[in-house]
Structure 1
Amino acid sequence: MASTPRRWLFVLTILVGSFLLFQVQPMVARMVLPRLGGAPAVWNSAMLVYQALLLGGYAYAHWLGRFEVRRQAMIHVALLLAAVLWLPIGIANIAPPAPGQEALWVPLLLLASIGPVFFAVSAQAPLMQRWFAADTRAGDPYYLYAASNLGSFAGLISYPALVEPAMPLATQSWGWSAGYGLLVLLVAASAAARWHAHAAPEQISAEPPPSRRRQLHWLLLAAVPSGLMLSTTTHLTTDIVAMPLLWVLPLGLYLLSFVIAFSTAERLTQVFTTIAPAVLLSVGGLSLLSTGGGTMLVAIAALAMLFVVATALHGYLYHLRPAPGHLTLFYLVMSAGGVLGGLFAALIAPLIFDWVYEHPLLVLAAAMLLPLPALLPWDRWLKLSPRRARVVVALLVAVAIFACWKMAGEWAGRIEGQVAAWAVIIFVIGLLVIGWRWAFVAVLALLMLGIGGWSTLQESFTGDRVRSYFGVYTVTDYPDEHQRRLAHGTTLHGLQRTDAPHQFEPTTYYGHQSGVGLALDKAEALAGPNAAVGLVGLGAGTLSCYRRPGQRWTIFEIDPAMARIARDPSKFTFLDHCAPDAPIVIGDARLQIAKLPPAQFDILVIDAFSSDAIPLHLLTAEAIGIYARALRPGGILLIHISNRFFALEPVLSAEAKARGWAAAIRIDSRPDEADDHAIVGGLTGSNWVALTATSERLRQLTGDLKPREDAPGDGVWVPLQQRPGFERWTDDYASTLPVLLWGHLIGQSK
């Protein structure tokens, strides 16, 4: 019995190990939220750490291959048992990063927290395949990699859908530890099934080692999908829909592409390979567009492109796989490619680019690597010689160049024409030249340049766009409207009027009729002439113009780049004119406020949204407790909850109820406003919640609350909506699914 293949045992071991591996990724990301926040770059940094640990695990599995299976088993089981010292999963207690050092500190924190456990588990997939292949009757072990990625996909997707809504973090950690114990038993059973297989797998392979050229091909075919997965994440959250729920989807689709490519469904893989060039043209052609297009439909199209292209490239990778004797070398090189793509997308690109240029570059790299079966073999239909066909292709590329020039001119407002018509012409030319790689890549690049690409490139030379660890910020003048706007991705982050009489008037979400405007206008009446105000989230500095002589203001801002923009009078003059001496504390506001002595502020304003991402760690019971400690007796907490995708009232309603606090919301809708976030006269709609310890204090701010069914009107505060059974958010338990506005996912972005 010990010598039988026992496929089910190896499949189960790989499924459990891969499930645990990708269940721990979002779980740890959730654990570090109170310390890191929720910027997309945090997730990309975490992904880079996971890829590096995966590479280490694969290198370890490759090294073990020099020994007999029996010795491999003893070493690996000993490693798994040693890693138990890092259970249950938790976050290492290391000092927080200095401002600007987040990119290096995040990997260090994750390595210290789960490095040994993740390393040990990551080795099991290639190692189990090697042990499986040690029995000559077992057959091709590569299909087990499809099972590995199926387990990974299940672990990743089940976390936000099932685990996070049902369990607090402590329970999740102990449950994962129990799963780890099961994995150790399964690995030991797999070792027992191959205990008498004395030969190391490379010793039973007659195939020579793969050439350096072949290994380089593996490396590139693995690097591009990995980088594209991370660049798609950044592209979506920066310039289309800034919603953290999307962060997990690119990784899930990336894993699913392995399941298809490494399965026996060769025809399905061929379908993806055939349609991939057309998908690159239709969706990848938009990847240099930096304005507009912010709908969930575009987001879905970007995810579809990632899935199709990754499946095609991974299918090609599977086609080039070596014999089982060189299996661990193949996975080692493939993992190195994954790290290479991750390094480029997560670390190098944010340092050298002021926009998410890594995304279009990786789209072009995919075009250079994809198999390009001719979709429309017109040269054969017309019976053209190869030379004549190349001449026709060159002429078609020339037409595409002309069309791109026309589109770029139309985009800049210099040349009349129809951008869509010229785009269709370039797209059709792209379909016709699929069989000629140089022409296909050139036409794809021309399509990118024509559809907004020239405009995106020109902005990089103006100095009005800045990229940091936390996002891409663009300052744009609108002379006809007498406005200068600050955008975070495609989300309005601030606006200043440029006509002199209105230059320092509050704009966007901060007008005098907004909740925060009403409160700050009453600051002196509420707290006296020396009121102390704390502001979390700087933006363009708009709120600073509510400051009055004698008031003490302190501003908390996580991103040094944002502070530089707000302080630069050539960009915005709110701060320079209204509060030039107000200190700006750089760092995560929750951590910085916790360091202060108690009773610091009469009014504390929380306005810390990055695009539409929920600052979940700023809305938990522990975070509100930090704010409460920082408030003076009778202090007022104001929280900005305007959001396209999440209804956050129940979160604050549950928190107010748990604390016995009084709370109200000011829903400020602009007149004749079709979109909640449209700009009307420099103002936008906004939702602000006020919380304070007593009803009397709240009444001093809001007056008598009006029924919710009444029209909001000017200056009207209404009670918070309550949701029966809604669980209070804590650092240990918080799920965004109950507050997700599913019906808004198809809506336009602001």
Structure 2
Amino acid sequence: MTNPRRSLFVAAIFAGSFLLFLVQPLMARLALPRLGGTPNVWNSAMLVYQALLLGGYAYAHLIGRLTLRRQLGLHIALLIAAALTLPLSLADLSDLGAGMEALWVPALLFASVGPVFFLISAQAPLIQRWFSADPGAGDPYGLYAASNIGSFAGLLSYPLLIEPLLGLGDQSLIWSIGYGIMVLLLLSVAVARWHLAAPDNAASAMDSADGARSPAAPIAGRRMAVWLVLAAVPSGLMLSTTTHLTTDIFAMPLLWVIPLGLYLLSFSVAFAENRKPARLISRAAPAVVVIAGGTAMMSQSGENLWLLGASVALLFAVSVALHARMYDLRPDPSRLTLFYLVMSAGGALGGMFTALFAPLLFDWVWEHPLLVMAAAALVPLRSLTPWQDRLAADTRLRLPVLAVGLMLAMLLSWHLVLAADQGREAIVWPLYGALAVVAVGVMFNRAAFLAVFGLTMVAIGLPGHVNAYRTGERVRSYFGVYTVSDSKTHGLRVLAHGTTDHGRQFLAPAKRREPTAYYGREAGVGLLLRNASALYGTEARIGVVGLGTGTLACYRTPGQTYRFYEIDPAILEFSRRGRFTFLSDCAPDSEIVIGDARIALEDEAPGQFDILVVDAFSSDAIPLHLLTREALEAYRRSIAANGSVAIHISNRFIDLEPVIAALARDAGMQAMLRWDNPDRTTGLTPSMWIVLSQRAETLAALRQASGRTEWRALATLSDTVWSDQYASTLPQFRWNTLLGVKP
């Protein structure tokens, strides 16, 4: 019997998957100067990768009709041809314009990385098929676990190792070398299987490639439909979890790595030859769905580490349970490529629903609770105690117990709604726990289980949504979910993006021109703009990157000109429709430029501003492409010789002071910082602003004009300078914030 050489196939499939998921963040980083860094950009990228994965699996299924030697020869030849597109670079594709990001981002990524991603994605099913060509090789499906361990390793290695240590040029070179190693491994695989089929006997080759088995019976359409659904729900849930977490739970940079990593890891558990871990997690999955999934409708919960952990635990448990069920329904290895093709189609379907259709259909992340409910309907339900088995079999007791359980659930959910609406957390969580106990208790009946779970999810989440719609409105665009709400207690209208306020305005006509939030008169930007005429004359020219509610417009005085840059047309609509009136009240003739500010500034005339304000955060996500050496050069080019650049660096998770300090030194600019911690009852919020100028005299004049207000020099300096080639937020991460510890 031929030696199957399993380790060689494991190495080849691991290498391909490692490169596949290393290239995803690498390409996102390459594209950052043109795309920005919002969660929906990542979701669009994932949609492209899922589409390419589907195409790769379709290609693997189609070439399975060829002889084994032709499969091997064709695939390796195409891989060598695709190497001509290396090293990786961004395609020269023109922007389709504002509002067309949902189409342009996928098109750009598809054109940039399509050929190599397409071919590498086909290798998981192909290598498993080639492995099973040897009659003594054994079950090939276990190799898929190695494939996903490789994917998981590639994904984590980028933010933890590759990005902090290497620039983009070196990253692309390392990836290209890895690609060459992978091709060599595939050549070794080809040598190991080359003798198993004659090149001119297709029928014989097909039998050998299928492990010398007789053709398997056709697979029923219903069975394939089950594969499709079992693959679609975890895929969609992975993306919806990312969006939900960054929108309403925990707006932490790099958070997208956690859901995707756990999603990949779930395949390794679900497809492993050792079935015990998969069975154990599958058995616990319904309880995890009840306990963690019940919070899926919660909105604006703030930084809550428990909810973060619950959300990712839910994703992992559901993914393992549904993927394990799919594994249990796997076909004979002769139908292996069809199985993976349908599975990939399901993954793409889930991704399309979450990344493409949901932003068009919903004004909030409603796809997340819908997918959680779908998961509850699909996870295997197994009784946890003997008495549940007895109830399921005894029709005389089953109906009364279910009736009592449902009535108790309705009573508890009503009290939970009242407690959640009143913000009485001491009562909310005990009631939530009681409902979870009832749901687990009726788990022997799927309909009752879903009913109690649905009541739980609605009861704890409904009050927050009712309040959001009752006191304001929601708008969802490609760049996120925005909530406008009125607070009668404080007399304010607030614009929130995820868990972060992006502007406030007093509702009283007498106060509505008063700067609020991060933009108060004693904040760094307030001091700079209200002294603009003293520093630059009565005709000072002001540029503002990031419109928000338009608060800064009310620093305009007669003779001054203001120009705002805003990437999201939905933000401008709030001012145009009068939801916020700073712009119309104070600077109605200001020019508004829709699009990416950095690209616009690079195309415009130099020296056009005396002051440029940079305030373009997306929730708490860091716009890396606006804080690099190249970006600062664009800002410096756009201001006069004695001009100033004000950068807003308030952030809960990333310490940006060392980053700006390193950039300022690299550019030969002077810098000083203003930390403002005002009385929050006045509508103001703490803020940190840095002002940079090429001339020390400009900063000295600003310091003098500020009176007794304190400015200080930048205290710390990063070891590295962020650039388009290199930038990593990891060294500047505030771990104490993540852990809830005050500095």
Matches within 5 A, 1:545-624: 545-569=554-578, 571-624=579-632
Deviation at 1:104, TM superposition (A): 0.3
Q: Does 1:141 align with 2:132?
A: no
Matched residue of 1:355: which SS?
Answer: coil
Q: Does 1:719 align with 2:733?
A: no
Counterpart position of 2:178: 179
Matches within 5 A, 1:246-395: 246-380=255-389, 385-395=394-404
Matches within 5 A, 1:87-102: 87-102=86-101
Q: Does 1:733 align with 2:726?
A: yes
Alpha-carbon distance in 2 for matches of 1:324, 1:170? 41
Higher deviation after alignment, 141-150 or 424-433: 424-433
Deviation at 1:393, TM superposition (A): 1.2
Matched residue of 1:481: which SS?
Answer: coil
Matched residue of 1:642: which SS?
Answer: coil
Deviation at 1:688, TM superposition (A): 0.1
Letter in 1 for 2:623: P
> Alpha-carbon deviations, 1:179-220, whole Å to 9, x = none?
111111111211111112222235724431221111111111
Q: Report if aligned partners of 1:205, 1:324 keep a CA contact under 8 Å in 2.
A: no
Matched residue of 2:196: which SS?
Answer: coil
Matched residue of 1:502: which SS?
Answer: coil
Alpha-carbon distance in 2 for matches of 1:106, 1:350? 15
Alpha-carbon distance in 1 for matches of 2:41, 2:75? 31
Letter in 1 for 2:126: L
Matches within 5 A, 1:386-465: 386-413=395-422, 418-456=427-465, 459=468, 464-465=473-474
Q: Report if aligned partners of 1:485, 1:496 keep a CA contact under 8 Å in 2.
A: yes
Q: Report if aligned partners of 1:5, 1:137 keep a CA contact under 8 Å in 2.
A: yes
Matched residue of 2:482: which SS?
Answer: strand
Letter in 1 for 2:213: I
Matched residue of 1:341: which SS?
Answer: helix
Q: 1:601 to 1:407 in 2, by over 3 A?
A: same
Counterpart position of 1:659: 667
Letter in 2 for 1:687: M
Alpha-carbon distance in 2 for matches of 1:36, 1:93? 13
Matched residue of 1:134: which SS?
Answer: coil
Matched residue of 1:340: which SS?
Answer: helix
Q: Report if aligned partners of 2:128, 2:143 keep a CA contact under 8 Å in 1.
A: yes
Alpha-carbon distance in 2 for matches of 1:586, 1:383? 61
Letter in 2 for 1:554: R
Matched residue of 1:501: which SS?
Answer: coil
Alpha-carbon distance in 1 for matches of 2:392, 2:347? 42
Q: Report if aligned partners of 2:251, 2:303 keep a CA contact under 8 Å in 1.
A: no
Q: 1:210 to 1:269 in 2, by over 3 A?
A: same
Q: Report if aligned partners of 2:392, 2:398 keep a CA contact under 8 Å in 1.
A: no
Letter in 1 for 2:688: N
Unaligned runs of 5+ in 1: 672-678, 706-712
Matched residue of 2:688: which SS?
Answer: strand
> Alpha-carbon deviations, 1:439-475, whole Å to 9, x = none?
1111111111110225425745877110000111111
Counterpart position of 1:709: none
Matched residue of 1:137: which SS?
Answer: coil
Letter in 2 for 1:273: S
Alpha-carbon distance in 1 for matches of 2:621, 2:428? 32
Deviation at 1:299, TM superposition (A): 1.2
Counterpart position of 2:82: 83
Letter in 2 for 1:103: A
Higher deviation after alignment, 102-111 or 376-385: 376-385
Letter in 2 for 1:364: M
Higher deviation after alignment, 558-567 or 515-524: 558-567
Q: Does 1:637 align with 2:630?
A: no
Matches within 5 A, 1:188-267: 188-198=187-197, 199-200=205-206, 201-202=209-210, 204-267=213-276
Letter in 1 for 2:536: A
Counterpart position of 1:482: 491
Deviation at 1:498, TM superposition (A): 1.6
Q: 1:503 to 1:67 in 2, by over 3 A?
A: same
Alpha-carbon distance in 1 for matches of 2:307, 2:375? 20
Deviation at 1:398, TM superposition (A): 2.6
Counterpart position of 2:152: 153
Deviation at 1:271, TM superposition (A): 1.3
Q: 1:384 to 1:339 in 2, by over 3 A?
A: closer
Letter in 2 for 1:642: S
TM-score (structure 1 length as normaliser): 0.95
Matches within 5 A, 1:498-517: 498-517=507-526
Deviation at 1:50, TM superposition (A): 0.4
Deviation at 1:382, TM superposition (A): 6.6
Q: Report if aligned partners of 1:510, 1:517 keep a CA contact under 8 Å in 2.
A: yes
Matched residue of 2:717: which SS?
Answer: coil
Unaligned runs of 5+ in 2: 198-204
Alpha-carbon distance in 1 for matches of 2:378, 2:239? 18
Matched residue of 2:496: which SS?
Answer: strand
Q: Over aligned residue pairs, what C-alpha RMSD do you find?
A: 2.0
Q: 1:646 aligns with which of 642, 646, 654?
A: 654
Q: Report if aligned partners of 1:406, 1:415 keep a CA contact under 8 Å in 2.
A: no
Q: Report if aligned partners of 2:47, 2:355 keep a CA contact under 8 Å in 1.
A: yes
Alpha-carbon distance in 1 for matches of 2:230, 2:404? 31
Q: 1:661 to 1:458 in 2, by over 3 A?
A: closer
Q: Does 1:690 align with 2:684?
A: no
Q: Report if aligned partners of 1:280, 1:305 keep a CA contact under 8 Å in 2.
A: yes
Counterpart position of 2:17: 18
> Alpha-carbon deviations, 1:497-536, whole Å to 9, x = none?
1233322111110101100000001000011111000001
TM-score (structure 2 length as normaliser): 0.95
Q: How many residues align?
A: 732
Alpha-carbon distance in 2 for matches of 1:30, 1:499? 45
Letter in 1 for 2:245: L
Q: 1:147 to 1:714 in 2, by over 3 A?
A: farther
Alpha-carbon distance in 1 for matches of 2:100, 2:112? 18
> Alpha-carbon deviations, 1:644-692, whole Å to 9, x = none?
0000011111111112111000011235xxxxxxx43201100000000
Matched residue of 2:700: which SS?
Answer: helix
Alpha-carbon distance in 2 for matches of 1:521, 1:376? 70
Deviation at 1:293, TM superposition (A): 4.5
Alpha-carbon distance in 2 for matches of 1:393, 1:273? 24
Alpha-carbon distance in 1 for matches of 2:130, 2:424? 65
